[in-house]
Amino acid sequence: MQKEFLFSKIHRATVTDANLEYVGSITIDEYLLERANLKEWQKVEILDVNNGERFQTYIMKGEAHSGVICLNGAAARKVQKGDKVIIVAYAMLDENEEKVHKPNIIIVNDKNEII
């Protein structure tokens, strides 16, 4: 049997933009993606600390070291520029994997730099 566990998290990132006119997704700084072990096109859940919204979308790669956290398309209606968000991904693990699994947690400052 497999169970779902936290795989990776970018904690309290600051939304730098919200682009309603884009097709959809969240654009995330490529450096943050690498450090969090997240991949472009991967499904993620977005938790908005400011307004309590929780929704899912997929990742698009942004410029490395730019600090970009931009919600695009319909998701842009659920956040405001400056909001704090938690970006999480989950993984299905079997009993052997869950014994050794450690989630990858990245904590960032107000400029979306890893601290």
| Main-chain dihedrals φ then ψ at residue 40, nearest 5 degrees | -60, 140
Q: Report CA 53 to chain centroid distance, whole Å.
A: 14
C-alpha span between 103 and 111 (Å, rounded): 23
Respond yes or no: is residue 31 known to be catalytic: no
Respond yes or no: is residue 8 known to be catalytic: no
How many CB atoms sit inside 10 A of residue 34's CB? 12
Catalytic residue of the set 8, 22, 58, 66: 58
Sign of CA dihedral 65, 41, 47, 95: negative
**H or E element in which residue 7 lies:** strand 3-14
Catalytic residue of the set 8, 25, 31, 90: 25
- Catalytically active residues are 25, 58
